[in-house]
A and B are shown apart, each in its own frame.
Chain A
Amino acid sequence: NAGVTQTPKFQVLKTGQSMTLQCAQDMNHEYMSWYRQDPGMGLRLIHYSVGAGITDQGEVPNGYNVSRSTTEDFPLRLLSAAPSQTSVYFCASSFGRPYSSEQYFGPGTRLTVT
């Protein structure tokens, strides 16, 4: 069981570039989420999904897109990178809704936008 995997681990982008952060889980969890972690801010929810084909916005969705075509994968797309998107990004999955279930986190992607 690999759990939750994220690629890449590190990425440097120039302003205006686009990219996709990959996330996959092998636990057959219905719920998946993307968070960003900034110093002194804790984790903030970007987007989440309650199952294949169903996504919704979290607290800080602007500048990001998601889709969920399979239960296993939940990629996060940055449409036009901005320096404000420099952050550490975590993907998480859970069997039940996150508010009442243990979430399993990936190791994170550290993104720098110059």
Chain B
Amino acid sequence: AQSVTQPDIHITVSEGASLELRCNYSYGATPYLFWYVQSPGQGLQLLLKYFSGDTLVQGIKGFEAEFKRSQSSFNLRKPSVHWSDAAEYFCAVGERSQGNLIFGKGTKLSVKP
């Protein structure tokens, strides 16, 4: 069965520091991969997605992610974190047979001033 693992439950970084959030997936074929962000008290918003082609994808708010098939990973990065990036981040894989998304359990990001 398809699955998504986000190994880090909670990460704290200083404002201005770089960020990498990890995501590993289990899927037989080429996956559809997504990163969503949830600000406190809000619904989820799409940051970026990967379907095919260039393995480095750019998203909104200065985020990017790299698809590495050999490592079954789709890690999210940002070169310089802002206090407004404090939120929970969810990686998700598209499950073709049923047509739905499978979400990871999320990584909560805290930003120190």
Residues of A within 8 A of B (CB): 4, 33, 40-45, 48, 50, 58, 90, 92, 97-100, 102-103, 105-108
Bound form: Cα–Cα A42–B102 in Å = 9
Of B43, B96, B103, the residue contacting A42 (CB under 8 A) is B103
Give which listed residue, B41, B49, B104, B105, contacts A102 with CB less than 8 A: B49
Q: Are B106 and A42 in contact (CB under 8 A)?
A: yes
Whether the Cβ atoms of B44 and A105 lie closer than 8 Å is yes
Chain B residues with Cβ under 8 A from A105's Cβ? 43-45
Which B residues between 1 and 37 are near A, CB-CB below 8 angstroms?
9, 32
Instruction: Flag if A58 contacts B100 (CB, 8 Å).
Output: yes
Please report the C-alpha to C-alpha distance between residue A98 and residue B93 in the assembled complex, in whole angstroms.
10
Within 65-113 of B, Cβ neighbours of A (below 8 Å) are at: 90, 94-96, 98-101, 103-106
* Neighbouring A residues of B51 by C-beta, 8 Å: 100
- Determine whether the beta carbon of A100 is less than 8 Å from that of B44: no
- Complex interface: chain B residues within 8 A of A41 (CB): 105
Whether the Cβ atoms of B95 and A99 lie closer than 8 Å is: yes
Instruction: Report Cα–Cα, A110/B103, bound state, in Å.
Output: 19
Please measure, in the bound complex, the distance between the C-alpha atom of A45 and the C-alpha atom of B2, giving whole angstroms: 14
A75 to B41 alpha-carbon distance, docked (Å): 21
A30 to chain B minimum Cβ distance, whole angstroms, is: 11
Q: Does the CB pair B9–A99 fall under 8 Å? A: no
Q: Can you name 10 A-B pairs with beta carbons within 8 Å?
A: A41-B105, A90-B44, A92-B43, A98-B94, A98-B100, A99-B100, A107-B42, A107-B43, A108-B41, A108-B42
Tell whether B56 is near chain A: CB-to-CB under 8 Å: no
Q: Is the CB of A100 within 8 A of B32?
A: yes
Residues of B contacting A97 in the complex (Cβ-Cβ under 8 angstroms): 99-100
CA distance A92 to B106 in the complex (A): 18
Of the residues A4, A40, A42, A48, contact of B100 by C-beta under 8 Å: A48
Residues in B neighbouring A44, C-beta threshold 8 A? 103
Bound-complex Cα distance A44 to B42 (A): 17
Chain B residue numbers with a CB within 8 Å of A103 are 44, 46, 101
